[in-house]
């Protein structure tokens, strides 16, 4: 009876996770879209783990899909674990690589969570009925996401966050960023298509249509290319699995569909598909890739580690990458999954990536030969979605939401490709005392993880988003001490409040997390020295030069470095050096500020309202 209860509880947690994870967002948080999804997923994961542990204590046995007896699958799993381990251990900033950056959260900790999710699914979801229910819930969630994207296109935004981008022809649905939505649609749309073919329900076809519309009007060109690659794979596999003559029909249908969508995008004015703009952004992307390849060549075998791109790329940053809205932003991804993998995990990571794709398609092809007709559609949908998102990632990057969905789809593929399950007794768990100790330890870990690694993480971001005092920001750091973003914010607030020693302390903590590799740290230290210099501390005036010199060495084309270095020089009365720094600042800034009366001029000042202060500083000399 207990076993049946545990099984049902596990299933319902999976269903709840699958439905709500892509939908959740909160306007009360600073990171309103990604963080609620990630934390909700991790809490569900810990509850799944707790139930699984209780099941093992009652019956110390495992059921394993037969696909995991394959040698290539064993090698892939081993390679993946080595990939994750070295991505942390061999990193230039191990703490950052373990926890992940604030905005991306794709450190080793997230990879382990994704793998655990996959593992728990394949160890517990063994029946067709379980997977049918899971797929139905999954499709319902896709329906909601697609519906909200369509409503945004019609001008309705329920987020209250001002993220509606229909004025630019772009929608983001529940993901907060058009590219994230488009990647999600690329990954799931073909499984949705397979489900529509199998079930022949009108609402599923409606969801499919809304998904395509949402993808097109997200204006994400890489995902658009991925969609057609996925269509090609779907048509090819469909023809090979059912009727080779239909390959010709798909060959005709795909370019016709492409023409219709491109025409629609241009007719409705989706600016992202404008050729003139495309050529400009392609040039920018090529510059980014060139710098990233130079960075990858520094540590070609193992790479720099997870999430280190943002701090290591600073010295390769090209001033032409500065654009209209974010002149203080430095890329934290190469926007190409192959180059990103080379930078963070080297050639070893690249081998794991391509070997993984090879094994997935080998397993999928084997499943196509052996499973029934409905299951063949599912296999085709999974392989097509993976193809689409991989091609889209050649112009973008993986985010946690997509990784979670991908883990679910791979677990489903493992089920479809397995003819049976193999039962294994856990010999070391035969003693009841050992089982109970094991259960207590893991349940304590689950409770610890839910509170300290999830509830407090949400509380920290809530505190930061609604911060009215330094005390609120201090609480954010207390609740989540492993994010340099929070530490930098607190350091800046303490500096402005005149608490310079504490500002130094918290910026040093951020530097520890980033492995001493972040140019922003040296700029922050330099700005603290400016305040000391204003208090007639001559030593600080000299030390500020040292810090700004190191910051400039790491990020020579980051405008705030030269601006603040000029301010330091001005404070100590060195107008010659100050003017040199201010002029350099103006030289590397995009020239939109010169084009008075243009749209670019207005947008530049909208996003950089304090730009003219540099002229006030120059007037002092």
pLDDT digits (tens, 9 = 90+) for 500-518: 999 999 999 999 999 999 9
Q: Is 538 found in the same domain as 602?
A: yes
In angstroms, rounded to a whole number, what is the distance separating the alpha carbons of residues 450 and 266?
A: 47
The CATH number of the domain where 489 resides is what?
1.25.40.10
3-state SS record for 155-221:
CCCCCCCCCCEHHHCECCHHHCCHHHHHHHHHHHHHHHHHHHHHHCCHHHHHHHHHHHHHHHHHCCH
Looking at residue 435, what is its pLDDT?
81
Can you give the pTM of this predicted structure?
0.91
**Which distant-in-sequence residues (6+ apart) come within 8 Å of 554 by Cβ?**
314, 315, 517, 518, 519, 522
CB 381, CB 194: distance < 8 Å: yes
Phi, psi of 253 (to 5 degrees): -65, -35
Q: Is 285 found in the same domain as 215?
A: yes
Q: Is 245 found in the same domain as 277?
A: yes
What three-state secondary structure class fits 314? helix
**127 in a structural domain:** no
Q: Is 593 found in the same domain as 522?
A: yes
Q: Is 12 exposed, middle or buried (0-12, 13-18, 19+ CB in 10 A)?
A: middle
In this predicted model, what pLDDT tens digit does every residue of 254-309 receive, in sequence order? 666 666 665 555 555 454 545 444 444 566 778 889 999 999 999 999 999 999 99
pLDDT-derived band at 4 (thresholds 50, 70, 90) equals confident
In this predicted model, what pLDDT tens digit does every residue of 480-499 receive, in sequence order? 999 999 999 999 999 999 99
**Which distant-in-sequence residues (6+ apart) come within 8 Å of 348 by Cβ?**
82, 83, 86, 301, 302, 303
Looking at residue 12, what is its pLDDT?
96
Q: Is 310 found in the same domain as 189?
A: yes
Following CA atoms 52, 53, 57, 63 in sequence, which dihedral angle do they give, to the nearest 10 degrees? 40
Q: Kindly give the pairing relationship between strand 421-425 and strand 61-65.
A: antiparallel
Q: Is 190 found in the same domain as 179?
A: yes
Looking at residue 326, what is its pLDDT?
63
Chosen domain end from 359, 388, 419: 419
Q: Is 241 found in the same domain as 100?
A: yes
Which stretch, 149-163, 167-181, 269-283, 580-594, has highest mean pLDDT?
Answer: 580-594
pLDDT-derived band at 600 (thresholds 50, 70, 90) equals confident
Phi, psi of 65 (to 5 degrees): -65, 145
> Residue 166 pLDDT more than 50?
no
In angstroms, rounded to a whole number, what is the distance separating the alpha carbons of residues 286 and 188?
A: 29
> Residue 319 pLDDT more than 90?
no
3-state SS record for 497-538:
CCCHHHHHHHHHHHHHHCCCCCHHHHHHHHHHHHHHHHCCCH
The average pLDDT across 345-372 equals 95
Looking at residue 162, what is its pLDDT?
53
The average pLDDT across 181-200 equals 94
Looking at residue 170, what is its pLDDT?
80
**140 in a structural domain:** no
Looking at residue 263, what is its pLDDT?
59
Chosen domain end from 419, 444, 468: 419
Report DSSP state, residue 62: E
pLDDT-derived band at 156 (thresholds 50, 70, 90) equals confident
Q: Is 406 found in the same domain as 370?
A: yes
**410 in a structural domain:** yes
Spatial CA neighbour of 180 closest among 332, 403, 513, 3: 403
Q: At what angle do helices 373-392 and 400-416 cross, to 10 degrees?
A: 150
In angstroms, rounded to a whole number, what is the distance separating the alpha carbons of residues 248 and 83?
A: 41
Cβ count within 10 A of residue 245? 8
Q: Is 188 found in the same domain as 287?
A: yes
Q: Please give the residue range of the domain that contains residue 475.
A: 459-619
**36 in a structural domain:** no
Q: Is 465 found in the same domain as 452?
A: no
Report DSSP state, residue 107: S
The residue ranking higher by pLDDT, 77 or 280, is 77
**450 in a structural domain:** yes
In angstroms, rounded to a whole number, what is the distance separating the alpha carbons of residues 7 and 124?
A: 8
The mean pLDDT value of the chain amounts to 88
Q: Which of 356-360, 362-366, 439-443 has the lowest mean pLDDT?
A: 439-443
**29 in a structural domain:** no
Q: Which of 47-51, 83-87, 199-203, 470-474 has the lowest mean pLDDT?
A: 199-203
In this predicted model, what pLDDT tens digit does every residue of 14-64 receive, in sequence order? 999 999 999 999 989 999 999 999 999 999 999 999 999 998 888 778 888
In this predicted model, what pLDDT tens digit does every residue of 541-561 receive, in sequence order? 899 999 999 999 999 989 999
Q: Is 348 found in the same domain as 299?
A: yes
Looking at residue 427, what is its pLDDT?
63
Chosen domain end from 440, 458, 476: 458
In this predicted model, what pLDDT tens digit does every residue of 419-434 receive, in sequence order? 777 777 666 667 778 8
Please tell me the total count of domains within the chain.
3
**132 in a structural domain:** no
pLDDT-derived band at 582 (thresholds 50, 70, 90) equals very high
**138 in a structural domain:** no
Q: Is 584 found in the same domain as 492?
A: yes
- In terms of residues, how long is the chain? 621
């Amino acid at each position: 009876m207990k076993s049946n209860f545990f099984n049902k509880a596990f299933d319902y947690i999976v269903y709840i996770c699958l439905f709500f994870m892509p939908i959740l967002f909160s306007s009360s948080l600073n990171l309103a879209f990604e963080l609620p999804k990630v934390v909700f997923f991790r809490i569900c994961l810990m509850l799944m783990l707790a139930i699984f542990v209780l099941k093992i204590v009652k019956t110390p046995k495992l059921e394993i899909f037969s696909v995991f007896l394959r040698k290539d699958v064993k090698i892939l799993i081993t390679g993946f674990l080595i990939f994750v381990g070295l991505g942390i251990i061999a990193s230039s900033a191990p703490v950052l690589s373990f926890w992940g950056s604030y905005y991306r959260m794709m450190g080793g900790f997230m990879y382990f969570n994704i793998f655990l999710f996959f593992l728990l699914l394949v160890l517990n979801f063994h029946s067709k009925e379980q997977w049918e229910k899971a797929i139905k819930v999954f499709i319902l969630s896709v329906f909601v996401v697609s519906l909200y994207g369509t409503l945004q296109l019609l001008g309705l935004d329920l987020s209250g966050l001002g993220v509606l981008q229909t004025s630019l022809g772009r929608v983001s649905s529940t993901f907060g960023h058009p590219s994230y939505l488009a990647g999600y649609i690329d990954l799931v749309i073909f499984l949705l298509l397979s489900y529509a073919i199998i079930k022949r329900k009108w609402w599923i076809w409606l969801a499919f249509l809304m998904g395509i519309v949402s993808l097109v009007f997200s204006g994400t060109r890489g995902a658009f290319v991925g969609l057609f690659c996925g269509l090609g794979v779907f048509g090819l596999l469909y023809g090979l699995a059912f009727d080779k003559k239909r390959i010709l029909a798909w060959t005709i249908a795909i370019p016709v569909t492409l023409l219709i969508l491109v025409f629609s995008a241009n007719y409705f004015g989706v600016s992202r598909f404008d050729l003139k703009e495309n050529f400009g952004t392609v040039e920018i992307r090529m510059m980014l890739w060139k710098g990233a390849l130079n960075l990858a060549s520094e540590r070609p075998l193992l790479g720099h580690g997870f999430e280190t791109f943002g701090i290591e790329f600073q010295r390769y940053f090209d001033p032409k990458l500065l654009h209209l809205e974010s002149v203080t932003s430095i890329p934290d991804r190469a926007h190409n999954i192959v180059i990103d993998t080379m930078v963070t995990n080297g050639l070893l990571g690249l081998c794991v990536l391509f070997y993984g794709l090879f094994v997935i398609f080998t397993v999928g092809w084997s499943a196509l030969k052996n499973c029934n007709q409905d299951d063949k559609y599912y296999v085709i949908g999974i392989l097509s979605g993976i193809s689409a998102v991989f091609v889209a990632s050649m112009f973008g990057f993986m985010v946690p939401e997509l990784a979670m969905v991908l883990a679910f789809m791979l677990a489903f593929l493992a089920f479809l490709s397995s003819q049976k399950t193999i039962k294994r007794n856990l010999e070391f768990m035969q003693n009841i005392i050992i089982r109970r100790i094991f259960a207590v330890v893991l349940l304590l870990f689950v409770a610890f993880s839910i509170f300290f690694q999830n509830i407090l993480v949400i509380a920290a971001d809530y505190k930061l988003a609604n911060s009215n005092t330094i005390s609120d920001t201090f609480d954010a750091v207390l609740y989540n001490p492993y994010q340099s973003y929070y530490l930098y914010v607190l350091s800046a607030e303490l500096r402005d409040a005149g608490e310079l020693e504490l500002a130094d302390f918290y910026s040093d903590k951020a530097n520890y997390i980033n492995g001493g590799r972040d140019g922003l740290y040296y700029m922050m230290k330099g700005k603290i020295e400016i305040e000391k210099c204003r208090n007639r501390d001559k030593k600080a005036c000299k030390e500020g030069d040292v810090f700004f010199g190191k910051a400039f060495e790491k990020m020579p084309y980051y405008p705030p470095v030269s601006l603040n270095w000029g301010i330091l020089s001005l404070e100590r009365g060195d107008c010659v050096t100050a003017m040199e720094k201010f002029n350099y600042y103006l030289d590397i800034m995009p020239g939109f500020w010169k084009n008075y009366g243009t749209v670019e001029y207005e947008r530049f000042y909208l996003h950089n309202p304090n730009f003219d202060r540099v002229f006030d500083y120059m007037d002092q000399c």
